[in-house]
Amino acid sequence: MRVTPEITIEQILKACPECEEFLYPFLEGVSEHTTLKHLAEEKTISLKALMAGIERYIKRSTQNPCDYTSMRRGLIKTGKVNIAGFTHFLLQDSIVEALRSEAAKKNIPLNLNLFPKHQKKYFQNYLAQCSSPDDLPDLLIGKGFSSLMSSRFYDKFVRPGFFKHPIESLKNKDVNELYDKQEAYHIFGLEETVMVYDHSVQAHGPKPKAWKDIMNAAYPQALTQMGKNGQDHFGFNILLYLYLEYGEAGIVHFASKVKNKQHFAYTIRHLGKKSERVAPVNIMHRHASRFIRSEAKNTTEIIAAAEGNPCSCYFFLLKHDAPQEAYTLAKQLLSERLQLQLEHCGITPISAISQKPFQWVGWETLANLPLPYLKEQLAELAFNHYQKPSYETL
């Protein structure tokens, strides 16, 4: 299907039902015969971002087709504790092992489907079509600003209370900022975005001491950003933080300073080499900084940002009527064993957050953002002001 400004919502949803997840924040009060062009005009949103998002969803559903009935049969098994979701590849095996070990020890019948990265999109396509809480597992595990945080998922499953399940061990002063008042999302780890300063690269300004410094500094092309060389979500974690802190002007200012946007492996490879591939300030996930080569460690440092680093999170949702056995398994994500594994992987465990400052957007804020559309909107804005380097990433 070719996406044009004149295509109607009815045509899109008939050809690709999964697109409802992307369009959901803007469907209220709109006719099925409304075109994308008119939708953008009525809702005062970007037509280009709308089209980019729809194309992304069509590609995802085409390349990763989900047979809903078959997927449900695998996810929901009577008489078992049903768990599904996705997590970081560094945590995948540890979480699977911990859940299976505890289930075996407590004689809990377990149906576990933790999808690795190459299979994650099948599950996302399922979530994009799911309309009944009966079609969802007892326990969901997720990360980042993904399908389990979309506006559609929130309105259909979180807001009505289907996943309202208090976790008493998380109700303390150390995690107060991270505690979801709806008692649905339960954080067990934080993915920090960090600044890695490379002393081997000539800088035209002072070394930043805080994230606000990179917004105030005058020197051009001072940043290397983790992401794809082409247009993608441009590192949504940092874009969302900047958007909420500085508005669209902050996104424009930030993007204009990015020298290169590339996979973190390329940045790691060239740190400490006075390379054109890197900049004085290199932005990446904290876990990626663990791979900095030993010979580069004398010329690089991770900035201890005064206000704390922007974070996304690792979380779980537990159904309000989940059996006690599901609660028992969910607590394994908060166990000392897995919390130590998070730290080993460069992910901040929930048990350690009182030891450092951090920047978290807040659950109430997320509940009112048009996700996932906002990813496309901010990516478009950033990419329009990013001066792509002339060379290709090797």
Query: Given this model, what pLDDT does residue 394 score?
Result: 42
Are the CB atoms for 250 and 243 separated by under 8 Å? yes
In one-letter notation, the amino acid at residue 377 is: Q
- Residue-level pLDDT at 169: 67
Q: Looking at residue 172, what is its pLDDT?
A: 59
Give the Cα separation of 21 and 372 in Å (integer).
8
Q: Name the residue with higher pLDDT: 169 or 206.
A: 206
| Whole-number percent of the chain with pLDDT over 70 | 96
Task: Give the C-alpha separation, 208 to 306, whole Å.
Answer: 10
**How far is it, in rounded angstroms, from Cα 217 to Cα 173?**
36
Predicted local confidence at residue 392, as pLDDT: 47
Size of the chain in residues: 394
Instruction: Pick left, alpha or beta for residue 183 (phi over 0 → left; psi -120 to 50 → alpha; otherwise beta).
Output: left
Question: Is pLDDT at 2 greater than 50 in this prediction?
Answer: yes
Distance CA 151, CA 368 (A): 8
Whether residue 189 is predicted with pLDDT greater than 50 in this model: the reply is: yes
Residue 391 has pLDDT above 80, yes or no: no
Under 8 Å between Cβ of 334 and 188: yes
Q: What is the pLDDT of residue 235?
A: 87
Q: Which residue has the higher pLDDT, 204 or 110?
A: 110
- CA pair distance 239, 230, nearest whole angstrom: 16
pLDDT in tens, 39-48: 999 999 999 9
Report the alpha-carbon distance of residue 214 to residue 256 in Å, rounded: 11
Poorest-pLDDT segment among 164-173, 181-190, 315-324: 164-173
pLDDT tens figures, 248-269 = 999 999 999 999 898 899 999 9
Task: Tally Cβ neighbours within 10 Å of residue 333.
Answer: 25
pLDDT tens, position by position, 270-311: 999 999 889 999 999 999 999 999 999 899 999 999 999 999
> What average pLDDT does the chain have?
92
Q: What integer pLDDT is reported at residue 230 of this predicted model?
A: 66
Mean pLDDT, range 327-348, rounded to an integer:
94
326: left (phi over 0), alpha (psi -120 to 50) or beta: alpha
* 94, two tokens: 């540890």
Domains delineated in the chain: 9-63 (no CATH), 70-190+311-375 (3.40.190.10), 192-309+380-384 (3.40.190.10)
